[in-house]
Structure 1
Amino acid sequence: MPSAASGRGGGTSTLFAWGCGEDGQLGAAEAPTPGATETNDWCVEAPRAVELGESASGVIVSACAGSRNSVCVTTRDDSSSCEAYAWGWNSHRALGFSYEECDELHVKTPKRHSSMKTEDGERINVVAIASGGWHAVCVDSDGVAYGYGGNEYAQAGPPDANAEHRNTSIPDRDWAPIRALLWPPRKVSLPAPVAQVSCGGMSSFALLHDGRVFEWGQTSEDDEPRTAPRQLDAKDKHVVEIAAGSFHLLMRTRNGEVMSYGNGSYGQLGLGATGAADVCRVIETFGRLGVVKIAAGGWHSAAVTAGGVLYTWGRGEYGRLGHGDDVKDKVVPKLVELDESVFIADIALGGSHSCAITAEGNVLSWGRTTLGRLGRVIRDPSSSTCGVPSRVAFPPLPNGKRWKALKISCGGRHTLAVCTVSTDDADVPTA
């Protein structure tokens, strides 16, 4: 559900961010505490509005928190055109700006794409962007996918014949030249229009409108990089949603089943054991529960059923699975125990934290507590773990109004939430 974009955080809706901001991924020009710098971790411990700029207009159709950067796309009410914004870590051209537009390593505030173009000079009307480790894939209004950024494993797209000999003008954190780069954005050759894209650490995935799923790059470190898109065998099932973790993939089928593929070192595939799966397999736990939403994080996974019930599995460290004091890894999905009145509407997973949206539009967070990941102040210095989903408090509004979350995306160490103003009563148990 789209919401009205507000360039200055006013009006009836806005984009909020919290967590680690050392790379500019929170869209804040200045650090919130004196002395914090790009080389000294700093954070925002509660939701703070992101200013898209005075000229921002339309509705937010997508927002993505990447590993160390952020992107969002807005469209006008008549859907005639879209505008893309990006900020944060710009190594490997990961933000999608040309050298003329931006040569900064850290883009501290949202920057609008004046015009993203292909290598042939054609303008790309971007409607969605997915960010990976240091690459990205965007989709245009015709359902065509384009990759750009770091391409060491062909994760952005078919490698440039000259990639190994091309250096950028921007050094990486170790001040060594970046050599494997795909720029300008290059079309990914796929047999049908794209419905959704999702990026892992070194791989990319595309869901086509006809229900097929394709991958390229390197999903598992044990595999050779795939330099051209390869169709995944979904056992003739029609896939309607995909979610890429760092090194694994979840797929939701039209019948509400969940399939998994890739690295399963911590049980994140949900197949009953650790270890990789080189073919797509159905997670048997869900049976006929009817899954309506999936999410994949660094090393953990989640699913929401039609009844608003949340399941998590995979790595349990820091309480990221939401099972209280139980921080053990889970090789099969386990129900997250919440108050019976809580209905989960959406879920997002980050590197080591998790967030959910309830039917009332409240945001719950849990997992690793450091660097403001959870969007709420936690003053227990003895533990970096919070395994109990609890409500995130947004800035107060006058006249009994409140912020209602519509979309949420967790990155490596930060979170983005698209919210609208609501007058509904949300004083119901949230955990």
Structure 2
Amino acid sequence: MKGKRRVADSAAGVWHCSHGHVPGQVLAVGQGDVGQLGLGEEVLERTRAALVRLPAPVVQVEAGGMHTVCLTENGEVYTFGCNDEGGLGRDTTEEGSETTPGRVALPKPTVQVSAGDSHTAALARDGTVFIWGSFRDNSGVIGLLEAWEKSVAPKQLHTTEAIVKISSARLLVPQAVRIKGSGRLKFQDVFCGAYFTFALTSEGRVYCFGLSNYHQLGTQSPVSVFMPQVTAGFQGSAVSWVSFSGGQHHSLCLDSTGQVYSLGRAEYGRLGLGVGAREQVCPAAVPELSRATVVACGASVSYAITSDGCALSWGMGTNMQLGTGEEDDAWSPVQMRGKQLDGHAVLAVSSGGQHTMLLIKDQS
């Protein structure tokens, strides 16, 4: 492994998709020292996106902290990467079996998956959710459904209502999120960062909660938001927001015209605002990114997919997640290139702790 490698926690878990459920092929780029690239025991890193062999076309790919989850068009789930906390949901005692895709035995066909640092979730067609793996803190395993216990195989998450979307965050005991003085609001979407959440109402109001130590939630002061609120950065906004993504300490926002905005911490170029950019309290438009359909964040990296299927990346380059072939940081968006991307349109992107996954299809 490279001596100057910088490791960051994953902000994975949100399905950054522009294509509905169009099947495609999976590409991997970045660090793969625990098999998270799915390219076998011998491949520890890729500077350019490489093809991952799967038994069926894939409609969703999610990069967790050090593992990856793929959903095929027939509703099957495949995983690869680190299985120390049970995040793969399958037996990996055979030498090297964690470094290539293996199927997870689930009782029902899956329609959506999500992944966190060391856990995975699958949403079935009937609205039930299955989860496996673990959460951790500084003291070790926290657990998913049972405190201090990791789940090495899928377990059903029991809820009172059918679930329509999953986005990985700490569960333990699922609870309804209450918004003071607002009654029962209807939300049309929810988006998770590493330590914070965005929720979008059917009227287009943006509610935020969680860590905002670098103003990544649009707060005027660097304080945590413990109850959902419309923060200063989004109050009175004339912009019609459609999508969000969160990294470790920064956020990306997408409006209905295709313009990308960023806010929060600026180091390593993760905001895409050019060399010397400073911390942003309010969403700032990323130059020359006005026709995007998808935004996505890793811990210290950012991505956008344009309407013509091009993928752009910026931020920390050390782990080679940017797919530029270099390890330099990128302070402005650069197009991801490579042999496997030639003649293909990018459908979706998901970034983990040190690796990034792409879903592509033929350009025709």
What CA deviation, in whole Å up to 9, does each residue of 1:271-292 have, x standing for no partner?
Answer: 2221100001114545231111
Give the % identical residues.
26
What CA deviation, in whole Å up to 9, does each residue of 1:286-336 have, x standing for no partner?
Answer: 523111111111221111000101111122111111111134322221111
Show structure 1 runs of 5+ residues with no match. Answer: 5-12, 33-41, 77-81, 117-122, 165-179, 204-215, 217-226, 424-431
* Partner residue, 1:27: 38
C-alpha contact 1:3 1:419 (8 A) present in aligned 2: no
1:416 to 353, 357, 361: 357
Aligned equivalents of 1:304 and 1:50: distance in 2?
A: 29
Aligned equivalents of 2:219 and 2:178: distance in 1?
A: 17
Confirm or deny that 1:18 pairs with 2:29: yes
Residue identity matched to 2:38:
G
Show structure 2 runs of 5+ residues with no match. Answer: 1-19
C-alpha contact 1:345 1:356 (8 A) present in aligned 2: yes
Residue identity matched to 1:107:
E
C-alpha contact 2:217 2:233 (8 A) present in aligned 1: no
**Helix, strand or coil at the partner of 2:346:** strand
* Partner residue, 1:3: 22
CA distance 1:350–1:152, shift in 2 (3 Å): closer
C-alpha contact 2:144 2:150 (8 A) present in aligned 1: no
CA distance 1:396–1:48, shift in 2 (3 Å): closer
Residue identity matched to 1:388:
S
Superposed counterparts of 1:208-287, under 5 Å: 216=171, 227-234=172-179, 235=182, 236-286=184-234, 287=237
* Partner residue, 1:393: 337
**Helix, strand or coil at the partner of 2:319:** helix
**Structure possessing the higher relative contact order (Cα contacts under 8 Å, 6 or more residues apart):** 2
Aligned equivalents of 1:144 and 1:105: distance in 2?
A: 32
- Deviation, 1:102, is 4.6
C-alpha contact 2:245 2:296 (8 A) present in aligned 1: yes
Superposed counterparts of 1:111-260, under 5 Å: 111-113=102-104, 115-116=105-106, 123-151=107-135, 157-159=144-146, 164=148, 180-200=149-169, 203=170, 216=171, 227-234=172-179, 235=182, 236-260=184-208
**Helix, strand or coil at the partner of 1:372:** coil
C-alpha contact 2:128 2:156 (8 A) present in aligned 1: yes
Residue identity matched to 1:95:
L
What CA deviation, in whole Å up to 9, does each residue of 1:215-251 have, x standing for no partner?
Answer: x3xxxxxxxxxx4212112444322222211111111
TM-score if structure 2 supplies the norm length? 0.85
CA distance 1:265–1:284, shift in 2 (3 Å): closer
Q: CA RMSD in A?
A: 2.3
* Partner residue, 1:49: 51
Aligned equivalents of 2:297 and 2:62: distance in 1?
A: 12
**Helix, strand or coil at the partner of 2:254:** strand
**Helix, strand or coil at the partner of 1:196:** coil
Aligned equivalents of 1:274 and 1:394: distance in 2?
A: 40
C-alpha contact 1:344 1:359 (8 A) present in aligned 2: yes
Aligned equivalents of 2:142 and 2:125: distance in 1?
A: 22
TM-score if structure 1 supplies the norm length? 0.73
- Deviation, 1:155, is 6.9
Residue identity matched to 1:392:
M
**Helix, strand or coil at the partner of 1:259:** strand
Aligned equivalents of 1:139 and 1:156: distance in 2?
A: 19
**Helix, strand or coil at the partner of 1:3:** coil
- Deviation, 1:126, is 2.6
Confirm or deny that 1:315 pairs with 2:265: yes
- Deviation, 1:419, is 0.8
* Partner residue, 2:286: 336
* Deviates most, 302-311 or 183-192: 183-192
* Partner residue, 2:14: none
**Helix, strand or coil at the partner of 2:85:** helix
Confirm or deny that 1:84 pairs with 2:68: no
Superposed counterparts of 1:287-326, under 5 Å: 287-326=237-276
* Deviates most, 318-327 or 349-358: 318-327
Residue identity matched to 1:49:
L
* Partner residue, 2:16: none
Aligned equivalents of 2:278 and 2:347: distance in 1?
A: 31
Residue identity matched to 1:299:
H
CA distance 1:393–1:249, shift in 2 (3 Å): same
Aligned equivalents of 1:420 and 1:17: distance in 2?
A: 14
Aligned equivalents of 1:129 and 1:408: distance in 2?
A: 14
Aligned equivalents of 1:90 and 1:277: distance in 2?
A: 33
C-alpha contact 1:256 1:289 (8 A) present in aligned 2: no
* Partner residue, 2:59: 61
Aligned equivalents of 1:142 and 1:195: distance in 2?
A: 9
CA distance 1:421–1:283, shift in 2 (3 Å): farther
- Deviation, 1:72, is 0.9
CA distance 1:155–1:64, shift in 2 (3 Å): farther
Aligned equivalents of 2:305 and 2:82: distance in 1?
A: 27
C-alpha contact 2:127 2:162 (8 A) present in aligned 1: yes
- Deviation, 1:152, is 5.1
